[in-house]
Every structure is written in structure tokens, then in C-alpha cells.
Amino acid sequence: MMEKRYLLFLLVLSISTNALAQTEAKKPGLVKVSGGLNAYAGFYTPNGIAARNQATPFGLSGAVTVTLPGGVSLPFSAVLGNQGASFRQPFNQFGVSPTYKWATIHAGYRNVSFSPFTLAGHTFLGGGVELNPGMLRFGAVYGRFNRASSTDIADPDAIPSFKRTGYAFKLGYGKPNNFVDLVVLRAQDDTTSIPGIQTTPEKQIVPAENLVVGVTSRLLLVKHITVELDVAASSYTRDMYATEVQAEGKNPLVRIFGKMITPRLSTQLTQAAQAGLGYQDKWGSVKFQYKRIDPNFQTMGAYYFQSDIESYTVNAALNLLKGKARIAGSYGTQFDNLAKNKNAGTGRSVGSFMASFNPDPVFGLDISLSNYGLSQKAGLRPLIDTLRIAQNNLSATLNTRYSIFNKDLSHVFTFTVAHQQLSDLNEATSNQTENNNQNLNLSYFFQQNQSGFGANLMLSYTQTSLPALLPADGNQKVKFYGPTLGTNYAFLKKKLTTSANFSYLINQQLGQTGKVLTASANAGYQLARKQSLSLMFNYLNSNTGIQTEKFNEFRGNIGYGISF
């Protein structure tokens, strides 16, 4: 009975919104409604495996989008069928940010970013404003950053949390690409938002508070030189019940913002900074970047930070032959254990190189290389050789294309080669971790411009070398190779579109040779301007040589859709 009422609701909604949309189309500037309704039915037949779908799937789905004046969109969707039912609407988290000239107002659920280390996209429920008249840059937000939740009988494993409210403001001067902003964020948990909590060591929860002060800027020093700077200091109190302490007055941040925080034994003052210096011209560009984030740096204005890192990066690009060729590369290093209090420190190095040559639309060549290295060094304790991490990950790709175009026909040939290799520099563990992968693809695409007939053929080969299961076995190689063929054509003045694809892959693994065959056919017919009929068949036959992977599936589907 409930399903019938639900189905009736969708049909009435579709008819009423269709009529409303036609009425509103004559009155621009008012509410606009658009969407569609789709019905489908099909079959599914497996052999050799347990069914992964309903034997006769069918259902009805609908979607409606209401667009209000000012560009606010409200999407609704519903699905009903023997595979399950669902209904989605946008009012769980609704917010608007209307803009008029240099003023923007935020209301409801919003995520706003003032700088990377202060307010950086955390969703809050509240309000705010951003004003940019002339060279002035002002912004302020206030709201709930986290809702209160506590454990109950229905969900005893849930981790409780306090209600968290906060505010942030920025004051700056400049334009969007040339400015300096001062940003302040203050947030804290409401200790009265949750009744008495009986916690275990695994679920221990205490209220916290946070004050973050930062400066962010993007400066154009001269015509081609740019400077980027983001710095912040965060005072984070992890336990507001901890004992108060006397703050040292020598710290300038304590003297300026001391009245906004209450130093406690659980309070930690950390810093984060990143800076960049770049030069860009017609011939290319070069940029130097530096980042340092103290251990345990945290802000309540962002969801996650990778702390305890320091990195240096350089990027360069060179344009040649009047833009027909380009060379670019980068190199960077990163390490942790900045406080020298870990048992081991980890270092990373990343390098990349890219070259492209595109003399004309007919021919193109692209080469890319990247190398990622990871190593450890002793910290508080010496490293054990069998546990020391020292790895290198290399990847290389070559992609070429050649095209033949004329008034009636189009031919496109592509060839791609890719190589990936993980090398373990620790001899004690290399036999269990090293692996490499090679992939080759040769493709041909054909298109008749007048009739719309198209075809494609791809030959692929993939080989993967995996670590040995036992030291005496040697590397295990897995291979997949074979052709894939596809075609498409439109009939009846392109009202009927059809396509078909066939793939036959041979695989070799663990001394066994098998095959995976897939075939599909699709058709779509335009019944009217906003009505369509679709038909789909798909067949899968898997026989990899392993008994548990020997099966076949056959499925089909017919659908009808109407849009408004």
C-alpha cells in the first residue's frame, strides 16, 4: 500500500511540475522547475556464481530541480523499485550566499575560506558577510561548527561530542590577486551542551577551545614576480577543565590576544607557514615554495591538517617553438620529526618531468616521468634494518597521436606506453615488496562525418610482476592482453542511436591461462522532443583458469524517460 502511494506521489509530482514549468517559462525571473521521470524493467541471469542482482529488476525514478530567483537550486530525487527505495531532498543542510555588487551575505549551512591555516572550508550553521568595496577586504562569520551528540541505548558505540560555536573575521587591503589579510578565528565547545558523560578511555571526551591568528597575502611585486605567504599561530586547548597557568608576557601574541584565551596545562601554541616566490613570462615560469607545519598544529576552522612536516619545492616550465613545445619539471623534499621526539624520522623526495610536442592538430607527443622516494633515519632510537623503510616509486608514460581529417572522414591513431615500478632499497624486505607494471595500448578511431557511423579498435597488453609468495618461487607475473572493438550508428534521421562493444582478454596467472569475454549492445530512440526509449543488453563470460572465477552473466534492460 505504501509503495502504491509513493508511486502515485511521483506521478502527480511529475505532472504538476511539468505544467508549472510550462507556465513559468512565460514569466521570466520567477521560479523555474525542471526534471524528469524514468521507468525501467529488465532481467538478470547468472551461471556459476551467486546472483549479484535481482532476477527481474524494475523501478521508477524521478528528479525535480526548483530554481529560485537569484540562482538558488533545490534538487529533489526519489527512487522506487524492487532493488530498494530512497528519497533525497536538499533541506538537511540548506544555505544561501547571495551577492550584490561588492557585498556577499552567507546564511544557513555554509563553508567559507579566509586562509589555509585559519578558516579553511569547515561547514558551519550560521551567518556571515563579505564586503569588498574598492580596496577594502572585510569578512566575518559566526555559527555552530559542530552539533552536540551523546551516546544512547539506540547507538551505544557512538562517540559523543560537544556543541562547538565560533566566529572568524578578516580585515585586509587589496584586490583578489594582490592583497594582504589579517584573519582571526575563535571557537570553543559548550560544556553544558551534553549531559553528564560516562566515558571509557577509548571514548574519552573533554571540551576544547581554539584561537588562531594568521596573515595571508598574494602580492605582485613587479610585472612578473609574485609572492605568496600564509602564516598562522594557533593556541589550542585540548581540555578546558585543565588547570589554568600564567602565560608568559614576552610572547607578542599573548600580549595582543591574551584576553581572548585562557592558558591551561593542556594549551599548546603551534605555528604553520608556507611561502612561495614565482616568476612568470611568455617563455615560461619558475616558482620556489616552502612549507613548515609544527607538530600537532590544529585549527577548528579546518577538518584535517598534515602536521609535523617541512618541505622545499621548485617548479619550472619552459615554452618553446612559439608554444608548440613545452617542458616542465618539479623537485621537492619533505621530512618530519621536527621536534626530534619520534623513534624514527621519515624523508620524502618527489621529482617529475613532462615534455610535450604538438606542432599541428595532426600529430602530438607527450612524455611524463615521476619519481617518489621514501626513506627513514634514526630518531630517539636506532633503526632495525628489517623494519627500515627505504623505497622508490618510478612511473613513466609515453603517449602519441596521429590524425587524418577531411570533409567526410576522420581517422585517429593513438599509442600509449606506461611503466610503473616500486623498488625497495632495503635488501631485507625487497623480495616481499618489489613490483612493477607495464601497459601498452594501440587504438584506432574512425568516424564518418555525414552519416554519423563510427568504429573503434583497441589492442591492449598489461603485465604485472608481483612479489613472490615464497622466496624460492621468484616473481609472479600476471598478464592480460586482447582486442576491444566498438561501433556506433544513428538511424531514422538520428532519432535511433545504436552502439555495440566487444572485448576479448586473455589472462595468464599462477601458471593458468584463461579468458574474459564481454559484449554489450545499446539502443536509444527519441519518441518525442522530451521523451525517449532505451534498450540495453550485456553479456560477461569469465574463465580465468581459476575455478572460483569461472562464471557468466547475462542482463538486459528497457527504459522509458520523460523530461520537462
DSSP of 338-398: TTS-SSEEEEEEEEEEEEEEEEETTEEEEEEEEEEEEEEEESSSPPPGGG--EEEEEEEEE
Burial class of residue 143, CB neighbours in 10 A (0-12, 13-18, 19+):
buried
The one-character DSSP state at 264 is B
Answer yes or no: is 460 within a domain. Answer: no
What is the mean pLDDT of the segment spanning 188-203?
A: 71
In degrees, to the nearest 5, what angle opens at C-alpha 463 toward C-alphas 461 and 465? Answer: 180
User: Rounded mean pLDDT of the chain?
Assistant: 84
Q: Give the C-alpha separation, 239 to 254, whole Å.
A: 19
Buried b (16+ CB within 10 A) or exposed e, 283-302: eebebebebbbbeebbbbbb
Top pLDDT among 222 and 388 is at 222
Alpha-carbon distance values, 196 to 187, 192, 433 (Å): 22, 9, 50
pLDDT of 225 higher than 60: yes
pLDDT, residue 347, reads 83
What the block records as the C-alpha cell of 254 is: 599573548
Per-residue confidence band for 510, with pLDDT thresholds at 50, 70 and 90:
confident
What is the mean pLDDT of the segment spanning 17-26?
A: 40
Answer yes or no: is 488 within a domain. Answer: no
pLDDT, residue 151, reads 64
pLDDT of 3 higher than 50: no
Q: How many domains does the chain have?
A: 1
Answer yes or no: is 145 within a domain. Answer: yes
Answer yes or no: is 239 within a domain. Answer: yes
pLDDT, residue 378, reads 55
CA nearest to 293, candidates 358, 234, 367, 248? 234
The conformational region for residue 449 under phi > 0 = left, psi -120 to 50 = alpha, else beta, is alpha
Interval 294-344: pLDDT, tens: 999 999 999 887 888 899 999 999 999 988 999 999 999 988 888 888 777
Which amino acid is located at 18 in the chain? N
Buried b (16+ CB within 10 A) or exposed e, 474-512: eeeeeebebebebebbbeeeeeebebbbebebebbbeee
pLDDT, residue 70, reads 61
Interval 244-285: pLDDT, tens: 887 665 566 666 666 778 888 999 999 999 999 999 998 999
Per-residue confidence band for 67, with pLDDT thresholds at 50, 70 and 90:
confident
pLDDT of 22 higher than 50: no
212 lies in which domain range?
93-196+203-307
Worst-scoring range by mean pLDDT, 79-83, 432-436, 467-471? 467-471
DSSP of 482-548: EEEEEEEEEETTTTEEEEEEEEEEEEEETTEEEEEEEEEEEEEEEEETTEEEEEEEEEEEEE-SSGG
What the block records as the C-alpha cell of 462 is: 598489461
Interval 35-66: pLDDT, tens: 999 999 999 999 988 888 889 999 998 888 88
pLDDT of 133 higher than 60: yes
pLDDT of 122 higher than 50: yes
Answer yes or no: is 137 within a domain. Answer: yes
pLDDT, residue 78, reads 87
Answer yes or no: is 503 within a domain. Answer: no
Dump strand ranges (E) for 150-304.
Answer: 163-175, 178-190, 209-220, 225-237, 267-281, 284-293
In percent, the amount of the chain with pLDDT more than 90 equals: 49
pLDDT, residue 444, reads 96
In degrees, to the nearest 5, what angle opens at C-alpha 39 toward C-alphas 38 and 45? Answer: 130
Strand pairing class (32-47; 209-220):
unpaired
**Residues in contact with 173: Cβ distance below 8 Å, sequence separation at least 6, in sequence order:** 135, 136, 137, 179, 180
pLDDT, residue 452, reads 81
Per-residue confidence band for 375, with pLDDT thresholds at 50, 70 and 90:
low
Element (H, E) at 13: helix 2-24
What is the mean pLDDT of the segment spanning 235-240?
A: 92
CA nearest to 296, candidates 313, 271, 273? 271
DSSP of 123-183: EEEEEEEEE-STTEEEEEEEEEEE--B---SS-TTPPPB-EEEEEEEEEEEEETTEEEEEE
Top pLDDT among 10 and 404 is at 404
Rounded to an integer, what is the distance from CA 464 to the centroid of its chain?
27
Q: Give the C-alpha separation, 31 to 216, whole Å.
A: 40
Long-range contacts made by residues 119-125, C-beta under 8 angstroms, separation at least 24? 119/168, 119/183, 119/185, 119/299, 119/301, 119/302, 120/299, 120/301, 120/302, 121/302, 121/303, 122/300, 122/301, 122/302, 122/303, 123/93, 124/166
Burial class of residue 26, CB neighbours in 10 A (0-12, 13-18, 19+):
exposed
pLDDT, residue 287, reads 96
Worst-scoring range by mean pLDDT, 23-27, 390-394, 444-448, 550-554? 23-27
CA nearest to 382, candidates 348, 344, 415? 344
Q: Give the C-alpha separation, 288 to 331, whole Å.
A: 10
Length of the chain: 564
Answer yes or no: is 256 within a domain. Answer: yes
Alpha-carbon distance values, 446 to 159, 241, 360 (Å): 58, 72, 20
In degrees, to the nearest 5, what angle opens at C-alpha 254 toward C-alphas 250 and 255? Answer: 70
pLDDT of 290 higher than 90: yes
Q: Give the C-alpha separation, 37 to 152, whole Å.
A: 41
pLDDT, residue 320, reads 93
3-state helix, strand and coil shares in percent for the chain, rounded to the nearest 5:
10, 60, 30
Burial class of residue 212, CB neighbours in 10 A (0-12, 13-18, 19+):
buried
pLDDT of 23 higher than 50: no
pLDDT of 200 higher than 60: no
pLDDT, residue 6, reads 38
pLDDT of 26 higher than 80: no
CA nearest to 412, candidates 454, 354, 368, 367? 454
In percent, the amount of the chain with pLDDT more than 70 equals: 82
Per-residue confidence band for 346, with pLDDT thresholds at 50, 70 and 90:
confident
Q: Coil, strand or helix: which one is 253?
A: helix
Task: Provide the whole-model pTM.
Answer: 0.76
Answer yes or no: is 517 within a domain. Answer: no
Q: Give the C-alpha separation, 271 to 307, whole Å.
A: 10
Q: Is residue 219 a contact partner of residue 178, using CB atoms and an 8 Å limit? A: yes
pLDDT, residue 13, reads 39
